[in-house]
Chains A and B, each alone.
Chain A
């Protein structure tokens, strides 16, 4: 694929896609909670720009509503709520080490990106070439979110992994199909909102029940030897 052969709008979308993937890598590497939350908010900003681009290029008016929802939820509400939690739980000084070493995790994430490209190979002819790239990128963002949930031990970091997975899903929907039908978009946004609130409640429950937000302490439920 020759990048300069594409229309300008698609070039912009591809650039945004690569930046979103880049923020996913940043999330993986970031060891301070505030840095993590800020990076997550930046990923939201990029997602918002991509949505606006798609809405303007393909003249899909309902995407403006999705863009507004993204801006409200993922750039402002969720980062704001997480920041407030971190302050109230007094954990903002904590630095986290990544399970398995950060180099290994980075290599793992690289492999996931290659894997995503491999997975979308069969999708051809149907669509513009750039779509295959953007779907691969969105799948990579989802998988890196999963990797983050696996490799982080702090509940807050796991939540950010979870939410960044959701960003990947949203991105896949807007680039491959110019957004899901409105009723689905609203439903998904509602689910994300409720999930964000529930996570907040859970932080306090975990803190009160276990005395730490380190999920390593969540190890009472095992098979057989209770």
Chain B
């Protein structure tokens, strides 16, 4: 139990401390130390959950089970590796004058604040607090999106704030409706928003109210997942902010919104007894997957390119959770990890790439592999992994998902496979020139620490070849919780 509190208190302490000293030269290191400590605490937490199965805090405010424990671990890991990258990257931005000392303080404090809100969202048992934390994550990042104070970044920040705020408000209305339905089942109780309580009695709640609630929840959290047509804010927010933020936004925050949606789906499915929620998720998921794949072709900014790729992958996961069935769900849960790891690795690489080329414009990035082979290779391999090639983890999860689709609704494999081909072409038509083209005169190598990227890619490779038994066990338990039946 103590490690759960530590996992949450360390980023809180980090936020407060860095709000005071975040402008110091050492702040990058302090930030890194806090993320390392948080990661260590989350590992101990994971061990505890592995030994006990489920962890419910006294007072029932926090609840950790197989479904969220691996996401907590993933969050802490990516938070740590991105912090390794963030220190030198932000020092460079400070040196070239894109930010000043005051904004460095804001950046570091909010980095920790962002991790805190995400960890609270994952570990809370209260569906209302879940909403508060997801909205808190938006508030923590909105000033980071506009950190560079260019007209474009301010526009991106404003769009992010208003569109996500409007979207997430729908999710709160949905939560109120769930509470309304739950109060009929548990009258006069303070526990009517606790997931652990509701999950036991989900079948008794009123189906009409819950159906209505799910529509609002899907629109609300779907906006944060970046589902088309509610995705407009996403490419702007993910591309205009500092690159370490892009890595965390794309790699982690999207997962959390999807996690919230799936938690609600688990309550609503037994109550309404049909696959209505699943069908809606499949529709939105497939639409996002297809549209984002097509839009990859039109991108001119390398960070926007990978933002659209995030929409595409989130669409695929939403589709998989909607499809239901053990294999698709297992695949989607696995996809959450491998996509996070790959996408954050890619954004970290893109950060170095933009320092080499001095621009984020795809037109101006040329010949990386000649100028700095390590960056070029990492960029290429990470993109290959992202596109779903074997032997990387994304191949494994997509393979599971396609097999499941083939079994339950074979004709849907056609749009999935063609969407995948379109997305692949969309990524590689740009990659080819960026990696192999002729390097412009005077392009020189920069100091880059590629170890976080290599670590992520090795993990993705490992997950593609053999998934460790602990993780299989958790994913299977989570699958059982979501659809009632495991794959093992």
Contacts and interface: CB of A to CB of B under 8 A. Distances in A.
B143 A169 contact: no
A188 B132 contact: yes
Given A146-B166, A198-B139, A198-B143, A221 B152 contact: yes
Contacts of A195: 139, 161, 165
Contact of A126 (B170, B172, B184, B300): B184
Nearest to A120: B212
B65 interface: no
A9 interface: no
A176 B142 contact: no
A37 interface: no
A184 B127 CA distance: 9
A191 B157 contact: no
30 contacts: A119-B212, A126-B206, A142-B173, A146-B166, A158-B162, A162-B165, A172-B173, A173-B176, A177-B176, A180-B128, A181-B126, A183-B129, A184-B126, A184-B131, A187-B128, A187-B131, A187-B136, A194-B139, A195-B139, A195-B165, A199-B161, A202-B146, A202-B157, A205-B154, A210-B151, A210-B154, A219-B155, A221-B240, A223-B298, A226-B301
Interface of A is mostly: helix
A218 B155 contact: yes
Given A190-B132, A202-B161, A209-B151, A221 B156 contact: yes
Given A194-B139, A195-B139, A166 B169 contact: yes
A218 B208 CA distance: 41
A202 B155 CA distance: 10
Interface in A206-226: 206, 208-210, 215, 218-221, 223-224, 226
Nearest to A205: B154
Contacts of B177: 176
Contacts of A146: 166
A68 interface: no
A155 interface: yes
Given A195-B139, A226-B300, A220 B176 contact: no
A162 to B, nearest CB: 6
A20 B193 CA distance: 27
A221 B193 CA distance: 40
Contacts of A126: 184, 206, 209
Nearest to A203: B158
A218 B158 contact: yes
Given A126-B206, A195-B165, A223-B295, A184 B129 contact: yes
The 7 tightest CB contacts between A and B, nearest first, are A184-B128, A187-B132, A122-B208, A218-B155, A209-B154, A176-B180, A224-B298
Contacts of A53: none
Given A205-B146, A218-B159, 16 more contacts: A122-B212, A127-B180, A135-B180, A162-B162, A165-B169, A180-B128, A181-B193, A184-B132, A184-B193, A187-B131, A188-B132, A191-B139, A195-B161, A199-B161, A219-B155, A221-B155
A123 interface: yes
Interface centre among A122, A187, A201 (most CB of B within 10 A): A187
Interface of B: 61, 126, 128-129, 131-133, 135-136, 139, 142-143, 146, 149-152, 154-159, 161-162, 165-166, 169-170, 172-173, 176-177, 179-180, 183-184, 190, 192-193, 206, 208-209, 211-212, 236, 240, 295, 298-301
Given A126-B206, A165-B169, A209-B150, A221 B212 contact: no
B166 A162 contact: yes
A160 interface: no
Nearest to B233: A221
Interface of B is mostly: helix
Contacts of A123: 206, 208-209, 212
A7 B50 CA distance: 54
Contacts of B212: 119-120, 122-123
Contacts of A73: none
A149 interface: yes
A54 interface: no
A24 to B, nearest CB: 14
Contacts of A191: 132, 135-136, 139
Given A183-B128, A221-B236, A149 B166 contact: yes
Contacts of B211: 122
A126 B209 CA distance: 10
Contacts of B151: 209-210, 220
A177 B179 contact: yes
Contacts of A226: 300-301
A144 interface: no
B406 to A, nearest CB: 34
Contacts of A201: 143
Contacts of A194: 136, 139
Contacts of A169: 169, 172-173, 176
A6 to B, nearest CB: 19
A163 to B, nearest CB: 10
A139 interface: yes
B61 A183 contact: yes
A183 B126 contact: yes
Contacts of B295: 223
A215 B158 CA distance: 9
Given A166-B169, A209-B150, A198 B142 contact: yes
A218 to B, nearest CB: 4
B363 to A, nearest CB: 11
Contact of A180 (B142, B176, B236): B176
A191 to B, nearest CB: 5
Contacts of A124: 208
A165 B168 CA distance: 11
Contacts of B162: 149, 158, 162
Nearest to B239: A221
A124 B207 CA distance: 11
Nearest to B177: A176
Contact of A187 (B129, B166, B170, B176): B129
A142 B169 contact: yes
Contacts of A119: 212
A169 B139 CA distance: 18
A194 B300 CA distance: 35
